Every structure is written in C-alpha cells, then in structure tokens.
Amino acid sequence: MGARGDAGSAALRSLPAVHELAGALDAPHALAVAAARQAIAEQRAAVVAGGSVAGDLLPRARELVTEMERGSFRRVLNATGVILHTNLGRAPLPAAAREAVARACEGYSNLELDLDSGERGSRHAHVEQLLCELTGAQAAIAVNNGAGAVLLAAAALAGPGRGIVVARGQLVEIGGGFRIPEVIVQSGARLVEIGTTNRTRLGDYARALEIHDDIGAIMRVHQSNFRTIGFVEEVPIEALCELGVPVIDDVGSGWLASLGDGAVAVGDEPPMARSVAAGVSLTCCSGDKLLGGPQAGLIVGRRDAVAAARRHPLARALRIDKLSLAALDATLRLYLDPERARAEIPVLAMLAVDKETLAARARRLAVAIGERASVVRAAGKTGGGALPLLELEGPVVSIDADPEPLARALRRGDPPVIARIHDGRVLLDPRTLADDDVDAVATATRRALAGG
C-alpha cells in the first residue's frame, strides 16, 4: 500500500466513535447520536474521496444538532420577484387567514357540526355561501387542491367509460407533471380529442357529440402557464354551454373579478363569475394562485352537478383539512370588501403596488446593504401558472458579487433569502418583500457578502 493509502487508513482509524462524539454534545441522546453519526459519515466520505481529515468534528456535530433541532421546513424571504412562486409555497396568506388558522389550532372546532341542531354538519358549509355569493354559483365545495378539483369534476360528471371532449390545444401539462389527458384517464372517463393545437371551432365540438353517444362532459382548460398566439381560434365558454351537455371549466388561477375593472392587472385570466353566468356545470380553480389563499381546490357551479361531486367517493379522499378551510374562509371574507381585499391579500397588493412604493423600498434596501448594491430595472413574474405574459417591470437591487456563491450563501442564511440571478447578477426584487422584510434581507446580504 502506498503512502497515500497508509495516510487514508490512518485517517479513518482516527475518527472518533459515535458514542464518544455524541457524549460531547449538549443535546438529547437520540439527537446527539444522529448528529455524531452524520458528522463522522461526512468525514469518512471525505477521506475516501482523497480529502483531508478535520482536526475536530465537534463544531460540525454542533452545527448538525442546530439544523436538526430547527427542522427542514422554514420560512424564507422571497426576493425573486415571482409572486406565486410554487417552490416557495405560492400565495402568502393575509393576516386574517393566518389568525384564522391560529384559532383553529387552539382546540376543537365545529368543522363538521351544525351548532343549531347538534347534528353532524358538512365542512363545505363554512365556505359554500361565500363562494356562491362571490361567483353567482348555485352551490360549491372545496377540496385539497386544484388538481383534485379537476379530477373530482371529471369523475363526477363523466365517470367510468364515458367520454370527455377536450380541444387539443388545451391538453396541457402544468408543474409537477400534472397532465390533463392523464387526469381524465384517472377519473375513469375516456378522452375525446378534437380540433388542432392552434384552432378549434364550435363545429368540432358538435361533430364529436354526433359521433359519440356516450359523452359525459365537455372540458375547457385554461392555458395557465403559457399562451398560444398568432393563427389561433377557440370557442367561447358561452357557446360551449349551449351544446346541451355538461361543461367543466378549469379556469386555473381563481380570479374572482369582484375588485373592479383595472384594480389589479390580470390580463386575460378568465373570471370564475363569467363561467358561472354562462351556465357551466362545474368551474374549478386553485385557492393559492390569484385568489391569494391557501392550497385548495374550489368547485362552483350548478346545484345538481356540485351534489354529484359531493357524493362521489373521491370527495372524501380529496377533502380539505380544517386549517386550510379556516384560511380559505377568512380569505374569501376579505373579498366581500373589495378595497380591503386589494390592501390585505398579499398577492393582490403585490400586483397592484405603485411604482413610488417599489422605488422607495428598493432605495432603502440598497442603502442598507452598502456600496456593493445598486438600483436597476428588471421585470418580475406572477408565477404559479398565472399571467405568463405579464412583465412586472420595476426597480430591483443588483449586487456586485460572484452570483452563484452569493445566491447560495443567501439561501443558507438565517433567515434564508431567495434571490434570482439574471444576466450574471444577483437581483433582489422588492415587489415580493414586505416593508418589514427589508432590514432582514439587508442584514442577510451583508453577512453573505462578508462570508459570515
């Protein structure tokens, strides 16, 4: 064995025993053992790879104890400029929703109890009236997420062996590999494709209904995270509802359109109320996109269709939990006062923030970071599969530093700061930061620049 092999063997023999390192840690036994085992394993792997041996593993073991005590699920500061950042949990909740969740955590609740009769109630009753009032629907339910809402709608209105007609240009895939054709298959229904990628006419739907005598529903799917432009044609939802079969409308982002024209830049996002007014049987959307609430799937529509969805066995498997329901109820109540909704729902406030507020926030952040920070112009995004063409142009803070190491240091800080890299620069976007976040981001950036 060569000198290098001898040194490696000696280094491995010099590693402490797990119980010895664990005994030096001020932590519960199980936690100390886990941290010691990981620290030793890391050092062993480094030696095997040809690296050197750390003189003392105790500091690393202490770091691991701190990390394990803190847990992996953490609050982060979003400086990316992407408002509905899927990796960061999409919509931040308004204060009213956070308070509602805290109350629901304090003890028991009337989740499925009718307080008047003392009999078993429905969890859907807590939000059904609100959803009907805000959309004009006859009935409504909430499930655990948007994909679940589409799956349940397809299963309830078509079910095993029946066809669902979808235009080819709407056979979309969104984040996480969620594909409309596969959802329809999982519902037990049969996919009937019509039209072409860029053009589908009313006659295509009519021919499908003539050819197939077992069509359970027509499904329209909003192109949430992309747009087809140019030589394109699609059928308005009103015309689809006149064909005489149930229509499922997956509008995606959950735009309620109750805030007044021009109050928030929402481009061509389809409002739920339009689908309801057109006569759609079931309209589906997510709760944590433009709606600005918790992860949830909302289904609103005709009374008989919603009842069919509520009776379906999948409804129990997809039901919403009490904490999400509490947050959803509180978020929807804000929409009863449009002015309050615009001010208190973070997603709406970020979309509508004025340029003077952004400029002041950016200047404050740059000054607090120091001479390596400067204010430049860049464009953020809505994200979350909503408004893909909307450019949210405004002031951002650019940092003069090697971008990859700085972004990594910011992510590893406490609290973690998530920035974006554009054209070889680290950018901190004030649009997705609250005023209260600015000092924390500045402190974290100074620490990361200093290597601390």
Percent of the chain with pLDDT over 70: 93
Question: In 3D, which of 419, 442, 183, 172 has the Cα closest to residue 297?
Answer: 183
| Shared domain check, 394 and 246 | no
Mean pLDDT of the region 387-402: 88
Strand pairing report for 247-252 and 297-301 = unpaired
Q: What is the pLDDT of residue 173?
A: 82
| 383 and 352 in a common domain | yes
Kindly give, in sequence order, each residue whose CB lies less than 8 Å from that of residue 357, ignoring residues fewer than 6 positions away: none
Overall pTM > 0.85: yes
Same domain? 53 vs 10: yes
Where residue 452 falls among pLDDT bands split at 50, 70, 90? low
Regarding whether 313 and 189 lie in a shared domain, the answer is: yes
pLDDT score of 1: 44
Mean pLDDT of 201-217: 95
Tell me the sheet residues that pair with 285: 252, 298
- In this structure, are 141 and 200 located in the same domain? yes
Look at residue 53 in the predicted model and tell me its pLDDT: 62
Residue 224 and residue 84: Cα distance in Å, rounded?
A: 13
CATH of the domain at 386: 3.90.1150.180
pLDDT for 6 equals: 59
pLDDT at 219 > cutoff 70: yes
Q: Are residues 232 and 114 in the same domain?
A: yes
Quote the domain boundaries for residue 245: 95-344
The encoded tokens of residue 214 equal 């077992």
Last residue of a domain, one of 344, 374, 404: 344
CATH assignment at residue 330: 3.40.640.10
In a shared domain, residues 65 and 100:
no
* 265, 397: one domain: no
Total domain count, the chain: 3
Domain end among 314, 344, 374: 344
Q: Are residues 147 and 233 in the same domain?
A: yes
| pLDDT tens for each residue of 147-193 | 999 999 999 999 888 999 999 998 888 766 778 889 898 999 999 99
Q: Is the dihedral of CA 351, 354, 360, 362 positive or negative?
A: positive
355 and 319 in a common domain: no
Find out whether 179 and 172 touch, Cβ atoms under 8 Å.
yes
**Do residues 224 and 250 both lie within one domain?**
yes
Tell me: do 375 and 270 sit in the same domain: no
